[in-house]
A and B are shown apart, each in its own frame.
Chain A
């Protein structure tokens, strides 16, 4: 069975500081990995995804993530956060297609303070 672990339930950062959100996955096959974000009172939105190739993938709003097969990780980063980045971030694993369902982490709530 596959699983996703986000060890940090909450992260607080100052505006302009860097951000890293950790994600570890467990899956015996080739993972399809995603980061989704949920802004207040909105549905989940895709930030970025990784299937293969360059382990560093770029997403929207300056976010990037790095895949590591050896560490079974897919950490999310942003060099300089803005207050509007306050949201809940979900690391997500897919087997091969959405019809079999996505596996979500618990999410990390990010609060950005001025």
Chain B
């Protein structure tokens, strides 16, 4: 029974289009994150949010915009899609502020293919 739900699991898009990746967590966590895994590259940190506020942004492109409408939601809007955006996007969450006891929980990922 997944506690972090990512929708859809698979997504095919055409170059130049816009898509939204959905992430909801039911762990009661106050921090959420997006990571990306491109082919033959390690998982790469993109964004972190705490209490619905942006904490850190390591994504250079403004085409990637996180959206947090509720405390347990952190969607990712991607505009003007490019083939290089093809990757698996992982959402994660944690209970921030626990220091050494903090633990990250990941969703199953959304695999995006841009044609």
Contacts and interface: CB of A to CB of B under 8 A. Distances in A.
Contacts of B18: none
B43 A43 contact: no
B106 A102 contact: no
B45 interface: yes
A107 B40 CA distance: 10
B43 A90 contact: yes
Contacts of A97: 96, 99, 102
Interface in A24-60: 32, 36, 41-46, 49, 51
B42 A104 contact: yes
A46 B42 contact: no
B103 A99 contact: no
A99 B55 contact: yes
Interface size class of B (residues with CB under 8 A): 20 to 34
Contacts of B107: 43
Interface in A74-114: 90, 97-107
Given A44-B90, A45-B106, A101 B100 contact: no
Interface of A: 4, 32, 36, 41-46, 49, 51, 90, 97-107
17 contacts: A4-B42, A41-B108, A43-B2, A43-B90, A43-B105, A43-B106, A44-B92, A44-B104, A98-B33, A98-B96, A98-B104, A99-B56, A100-B56, A103-B42, A104-B35, A104-B42, A106-B40
Interface of B: 2, 4, 31, 33, 35, 40-45, 48, 50, 55-56, 58, 90, 92, 94, 96, 99-100, 102-109
